[in-house]
Amino acid sequence: MTDRAGELAANLARVRGRIAAAAGAASRDPDRITLVAVTKTYPASDVVELARLGVADFGENRDQEAAGKAAEVERRGVRVRWHFVGRLQRNKCHSVVRYADLVHSVDRVRLATALGAAAAAHRDRPLEVLIQLSVDGDPQRGGAVPEQLGPVADAVAAEPALRLRGVMAIAPRSWPPDRAFARLAELAEQLRADHPAATVISAGMSGDLPVAVQHGATHLRIGTDLLGTRAPLG
């Protein structure tokens, strides 16, 4: 085992332990919580090694990096599930739909329409999407304000090539994570009232993982605790 492989294995064991502890504290089944390894700035070799260790889901936030990395992982004969977790511009939709399995960051009607058209043109199966929400109502960071949840959800649902799966949010720095994820849980429940299949809640990163699990997160986006502090690629 290489030094890097050993580092990743140890980090993964610690992260899985944290998820199990958080799930236990919340009386939840840890097997129903998906770990998304956020590998932005890290090489395809890390994806391959983590896949060998049993990680199935990987997140990227920049299309230019993600497209090449996904292609390299595929060339190595490794099949994983790719999550696009960054802000998405409409001009990147035709690229993202070619490799992503789940897009976490749909936050406006025009983006939903563009993504649906791209998915219809380039995919032979529906693309799963989440609505990114700005839980404090500030749209500057990205994310639909709560009042736009219904219109964006309806726009996604109207696209035959898309499947609405749930919501995503990043806790704003001005709010404690407990408040942010409690609000996200309320909005997720609101969404499910009209779209019962939208059961995914993507919330929680390395620093606020336990609080996210407490409030029902189904997908955790973990980067630092998993990949460590190794110098990233340029």
This prediction's pTM: 0.95
- In order along its 234 residues, the chain shows pLDDT tens digits of 789 999 999 999 999 999 999 999 999 999 999 999 999 999 999 999 999 999 999 999 999 999 999 999 999 999 999 999 999 999 999 999 999 999 999 999 999 999 999 999 999 999 999 999 999 998 787 899 999 999 999 999 999 999 999 999 999 999 999 999 999 999 999 999 999 999 999 999 999 999 999 999 999 999 999 998 755 554
Q: How far apart are CA 199 and CA 24, in angstroms?
A: 20
Q: Are strands 219-222 and 34-38 parallel, antiparallel or unpaired?
A: parallel
Strand-pairing partners, residue 84, are 60, 103
Phi, psi of 131 (to 5 degrees): -90, 120
Closest C-alpha among 112, 132, 115 to residue 123:
115
User: What architecture is domain 3-227?
Assistant: Alpha-Beta Barrel (3.20)
Locate the domains of the chain by residue range: 3-227
Distance CA 87, CA 9 (A): 30
Q: What pLDDT, on the 0 to 100 scale, is given for residue 228?
A: 85
Measured between its terminal Cα atoms, the distance across the chain in Å is 26
- DSSP code for 32: G
3-state SS track over 82-146: EEECCCCCHHHHHHHCCCCCEEEEECCHHHHHHHHHHHHHHCCCCEEEEEEECCCCCHHHCCECH
